[in-house]
Chains A and B, each alone.
Chain A
Amino acid sequence: MPIEVNGKAFETDEEGYLANINEWEPGVAEVMSKEDDLELTDEHWDIINYLREYYEEYQIAPAVRVLTKAVGKKFGKDKGNSKYLYGLFPYGPAKQACRYAGLPKPTGCV
């Protein structure tokens, strides 16, 4: 089911993940979050941008445990826990944040 961002159609898979990671633009995250009734703040963008950097470097989306640890290291220990991440992304940081970031579903994520 394609989503529409600024008049442009983006192909997604059956679970709503972007079909082509290279097509991603910030508007994709805006539209996806609006559908989930979520307002994106700078804190959300920190995670989304971090996920995109991680994918760029390693060609995979990090597991939640890996993400949690990395966030704690990069943005401060108070943020390196699942409570903080689930507070931002109630459907799960890996599933929801990766989807907004245009990444495929994380390996090992069911």
Chain B
Amino acid sequence: MSETIKNFLYLNRKAPYGTIYAWESLEVVLIGAAFDQDVSLAFVDDGVFQLTKNQHTSAVGMKNFSPTYAALGDYEVKKVFVEKESLEERGLSLDDLQHLTWEDEDEDWAEKDSIHLVTRAEMAAIMDGADVVFSF
């Protein structure tokens, strides 16, 4: 395994079920996280719909994979950035999204929030600071 840990940013821009991008991205994230990389996720544009609560997919005939986002904490993915403007433009707020957490082993498994609401300008800086950006 490589000695240098790189900072990977997975950028999610698309709605969850119209294409396979969202699920593919999530699978790659879970695989990548299993190999001790520094992983962050970003949700912008229609990508913010991926994290919405109460998804029902039976009518579109696809598996509802939204419960899998809650497993990210187990995979030590602790940084999930959601763009504030993208939510607002779609009439959404943080309350419409799942509450994602991770448990801090060093603090007796205290639950901590994974989702960070950031502005468009902050998001640009996050992308700029990543070693590698995977766009889905």
By the criterion CB–CB under 8 Å, are B30 and A59 in contact? no
Least Cβ distance of A54 to chain B in Å?
Answer: 8
In the complex formed, the residue of A with least CB distance to B72 is A58
By the criterion CB–CB under 8 Å, are B30 and A58 in contact? no
Whole-angstrom distance between the alpha carbons of A63 and B65 in the complex? 17
By the criterion CB–CB under 8 Å, are A58 and B67 in contact? yes
Whole-angstrom distance between the alpha carbons of A65 and B30 in the complex? 11
By the criterion CB–CB under 8 Å, are A62 and B109 in contact? no
Whole-angstrom distance between the alpha carbons of A108 and B68 in the complex? 15
Size range of the interface on A? 10 to 19
Whole-angstrom distance between the alpha carbons of A97 and B67 in the complex? 22
Instruction: Say which one of A3-11, A66-74, A81-89 lies at the interface with B.
Output: A66-74
Cβ-based interface call for A57 (8 A): yes
Least Cβ distance of A13 to chain B in Å?
Answer: 17
Residues of B within 8 A of A70 (CB): 74
Q: Which of B30, B67, B74 contacts A107 (CB 8 A)?
A: B30
Cβ-based interface call for B111 (8 A): no
Contact digits for B58-70, partner A, Cβ 8 Å, 1 yes 0 no: 0000011101101
Tell me the A42-69 residues at the B interface (CB within 8 Å). Answer: 57-60, 62-63, 65-66, 69
By the criterion CB–CB under 8 Å, are A62 and B74 in contact? yes
